[in-house]
Amino acid sequence: MARAASLSGYLELLPQERIVEQHVLDTLRRVFEAHGFASIESRAVEPVEVLLGKGEIDKEVYGVSRIHDDAAEAKQALHFDLTVPFARYVTENAGHLAFPFRRYQIQKVWRGERPQAGRFREFTQADIDIVGDGELPVRSDVEIAVVMARALQALNIGDFTLRVNSRKLSEGFYRAIGIEDTAAVLRAVDKLEKVGEDRVAAEIAESAGATQAQAQQALALASIRTADPDVAAQVRALLGAEAVGETALLEEGLAELSLVMGELSTRVPGRAEADLSIARGLDYYTGTVIETVLHGHEELGSICSGGRYESLATKGKRAFPGVGLSIGVTRLLSRLLDAGELAASRTVPTAVYVALSSDEDWGAAQTVADQLRARGISAEVALSAEKFGKQIKYADRRGIPFVWFTHDDGAHEVKDIRSGEQTPADPAIWAPPAEDRTPQIISITDEPSTAEEL
Amino acid sequence: MARAASLSGYLELLPQERIVEQHVLDTLRRVFEAHGFASIESRAVEPVEVLLGKGEIDKEVYGVSRIHDDAAEAKQALHFDLTVPFARYVTENAGHLAFPFRRYQIQKVWRGERPQAGRFREFTQADIDIVGDGELPVRSDVEIAVVMARALQALNIGDFTLRVNSRKLSEGFYRAIGIEDTAAVLRAVDKLEKVGEDRVAAEIAESAGATQAQAQQALALASIRTADPDVAAQVRALLGAEAVGETALLEEGLAELSLVMGELSTRVPGRAEADLSIARGLDYYTGTVIETVLHGHEELGSICSGGRYESLATKGKRAFPGVGLSIGVTRLLSRLLDAGELAASRTVPTAVYVALSSDEDWGAAQTVADQLRARGISAEVALSAEKFGKQIKYADRRGIPFVWFTHDDGAHEVKDIRSGEQTPADPAIWAPPAEDRTPQIISITDEPSTAEEL
């Protein structure tokens, strides 16, 4: 990871690092599928107007056009997230899907970010979403959060907290205290961690036309952070008897957040807290919003974010409300690899390296390797009969645990490179210990590996 | 698959089709890793000059540039294959790799093809390559071919033949009969299946300055097709006593092809034949070249192609010779899905659908589902307590085999939707039959499934 990228902003992993990435992606897939989420992939390009019409319009989008074409203006561009393409996929294929539709999608996305440490122009996202036809119960918000909490838990990367809010609650509260331009307040509050309370208060006053008192109340709301599912009591206490605007949206938001927090405290205890400062920048969120902090890596920002959107996907009068969360895999992985908190025990899948006494033995050695492969043991055969010491060194350098020797009299022996122990073995029945079959993923967390847990 | 793509040339699969694709990619990965090949991924973009300097320069390459940039000229472009990026990766990371380096790479590539049936602008390739430092024995050509033959066999898509030739043999033969511009002859012979013998003979005469007799001899060489490892005898018979040019390269080619065919007939019997018409269009091949025909789908062209390249990857005076083969996964998959020769038994990973008697039971139903998930059984819970008939219909429509009911008295029952049989069950111990745990892949071939074989 200390290597300089030959193209700024593009990360390419070495084989050993890629094994860690494969483990991360396999683990996510396993958890998603255990919960009934189906995989889809969308094409990498979208019409430019689809990308610029929705979502983060200030993102730097990469246009794509044939190099021999004269047209300077690209009609298509690389997708910058998986939510907008998914909404397009759902409306296009609605007739072929059964709703509610649960899908996961693990793909690369591209953004023309200014290159800086830990920011990439090409990166992998892992998304889950549930989309309904016309309606979607708030229980799906709970389900999405539970599945992602379990997925992060299964990665065994340490303690994390899902920070949960409801846009209905925040906007309802702003209305209740008499602010009309609630979107402006949300945009200001979204910057709280970056610019601090004073500047947010000033922005609320300025852009939403709020009084100092209103701005302070909005900030007070954003300061509520609690694992207690009864967050409603604290919000009501803050509001007091001062409600000057309508409170219907606020009540809806309080009910939804209480339900979500109640279920989360039961199903993934200790993994979620209500945090009323969470706003999310994107316009399309309409209810539950979630960000996730990895303890000890707060500088990463949110490692898993998303929320509820009512009308991102529409087809005529038909709306497909959805809720989803997305893990920024590359950013997270790159940080954990850099910090030495995740590593693989070897650079190759190979468990057994079959050595050669002479080049003529290559066919016989392949037959030995095939006997191992037939039982699911990864094996490779030396391409040249170099000195045994050199063959062993080659295996050792790549972390392969066992080297196989076939002697001139046809006897077989297998050597554990780590201990140096060499024992007679029969290629038809010998197997390595279970933990040596595939590369081990080493995690710095002291918790026992939870890779097989949900 | 009968759906029209909303963007011409871009294929997007439905969830059920994607399950087949996942099965194909998982199978390839399993076979590649069993043989010790390590996974890498390269970034999707390369500097334009890297792509246009090597490989198929006439391919339509997609340029990439930030949409807000004025620069009309793209400096980067999407890769159109995985060989050129891999060569760049090897030279860049040579200091961190152990040679010979075996890698597999399964990624999307992009080509600005004219849209037509079965031709895609975005498609997935699955490549394996072995790269050496300075030298690489011809045994690695055998290894690559064996691994790919086994991978195709494991896909259970019917009978196929690897068509093997050596560029050294062809070029050596042309030299031996006195033709100097051997590259021109290769380019002409490469078109044999498309344009026929007469036009190829004319092109050889014209572009390589050959006599009619020389052109006919080159065509006679291209007509040799045999499963007999002793292909050398037929070539020598054809050459007769007429060698006017040097024969060293021919001898080298004959020796290599004989070795490769001999080993293949032992290790993957019936899967390979020498076919001296195989030329491959790409300039960088220098030795063994291979194409693969899937019987009954000859119109697909080659489903798996590649060969030996001596100097694609170089770093100063250091050369990294390699050999590789590539499967065009999307083209193959799309054809087999269209033909109904591969299909999945359901549209979701879910094995058990937990029904709801009332919305309030959702938490308890999730607890049942969690007991199943903890044992690796994919389960999902209804989001709403609709009528049981409707819940069963929803599960059935997606091919989920089992529906779970919890009665008011706490008793559990599980229903096999296919048979209608409903039996008492304990969520802590019940499991579906092994074949129902994951979606089944249905293949039209009558052969028993070889998914677990090497």
Asked whether the beta carbons of B42 and B85 are under 8 A apart, the reply is yes
**Residues of A whose CB is below 8 A from B353:** 36
Pick the CATH number of A15-344 from 3.40.50.2300, 1.10.3720.10, 3.30.930.10, 2.60.40.10: 3.30.930.10
Residue A107 annotated as binding site: no
Which residues 129-188 of chain B have a CB within 8 Å of chain A?
130, 132, 136-137, 139-140, 143, 146
Q: Which tens digit of pLDDT belongs to each residue from B1-42? A: 556 778 889 999 999 999 999 999 999 999 999 999 999 999
Residue B398 annotated as binding site: no
Query: What pLDDT was estimated at residue B313?
Result: 82
Residue B77 at interface with chain A, using a CB cutoff of 8 Å? yes
**Residues of A whose CB is below 8 A from B3:** 93, 96
Query: What pLDDT was estimated at residue B243?
Result: 72
**Residues of A whose CB is below 8 A from B68:** 60-61, 112
Query: What pLDDT was estimated at residue B78?
Result: 95
Band (pLDDT 50/70/90 cuts) for residue B446 is very low
CATH code at B352-441: 3.40.50.800
Band (pLDDT 50/70/90 cuts) for residue A113 is confident
Q: Which tens digit of pLDDT belongs to each residue from B119-163? A: 899 999 999 999 999 999 999 999 999 999 999 999 999 999 999
Band (pLDDT 50/70/90 cuts) for residue B229 is confident
Query: What pLDDT was estimated at residue B356?
Result: 97
Q: In this model, does residue B54 exceed pLDDT 70?
A: no
For the segment A388-404, the average pLDDT, to the nearest whole number, is 96
For the segment A437-449, the average pLDDT, to the nearest whole number, is 76
Band (pLDDT 50/70/90 cuts) for residue A312 is confident
How many angstroms separate the Cα of B301 from the Cα of each of A249, A321, B161, B332, B335? 61, 44, 12, 10, 12
Residue B449 at interface with chain A, using a CB cutoff of 8 Å? no
Query: What pLDDT was estimated at residue A72?
Result: 56
For the segment B373-383, the average pLDDT, to the nearest whole number, is 97
- pLDDT-wise least confident of A87-96, B55-64, B308-317: B55-64
Query: What pLDDT was estimated at residue B6?
Result: 83
Q: Kind and range of the H or E element at A403?
A: strand A402-406
Residues forming a β-bridge with B127: B105, B326
Q: In this model, does residue B387 exceed pLDDT 50?
A: yes
Interface contacts A/B by beta carbons within 8 Å: 234
Q: Regarding the domain delimited by A352-438, which CATH topology (the fold level of the hierarchy) does it fall under? A: Rossmann fold (3.40.50)
Q: Which CB contacts under 8 angstroms, 24+ apart, belong to A70-77?
A: A72/B72, A74/A48, A74/B65, A74/B67, A75/A47, A75/A48, A76/A45, A76/A46, A76/A47, A76/A48, A76/B7, A77/A45, A77/A46, A77/A47, A77/A48, A77/A51, A77/B67
* CB spacing of B38 vs A10 below 8 angstroms: no
Q: Which tens digit of pLDDT belongs to each residue from A114-169? A: 777 778 999 999 999 999 999 999 999 999 999 999 999 999 999 999 999 999 99
For the segment A392-411, the average pLDDT, to the nearest whole number, is 96
Band (pLDDT 50/70/90 cuts) for residue B450 is very low
Residue B83 annotated as binding site: yes
Q: Mean pLDDT of all residues in chain A?
A: 92
Query: What pLDDT was estimated at residue A102?
Result: 98
Q: Kindly state the greatest CA–CA separation across chain B.
A: 95
Q: In this model, does residue B269 exceed pLDDT 80?
A: yes
For the segment B253-270, the average pLDDT, to the nearest whole number, is 96
Query: What pLDDT was estimated at residue A315?
Result: 84
Q: In this model, does residue A454 exceed pLDDT 70?
A: no
Residue A437 annotated as binding site: no
Count of Cβ atoms closer than 10 Å to residue B410 Cβ = 7
Query: What pLDDT was estimated at residue B287?
Result: 96
C-alpha distance from A101 to closest chain B C-alpha (Å): 10
Query: What pLDDT was estimated at residue A68?
Result: 67
Show me where the domains of chain B are located.
Answer: 15-344, 352-441
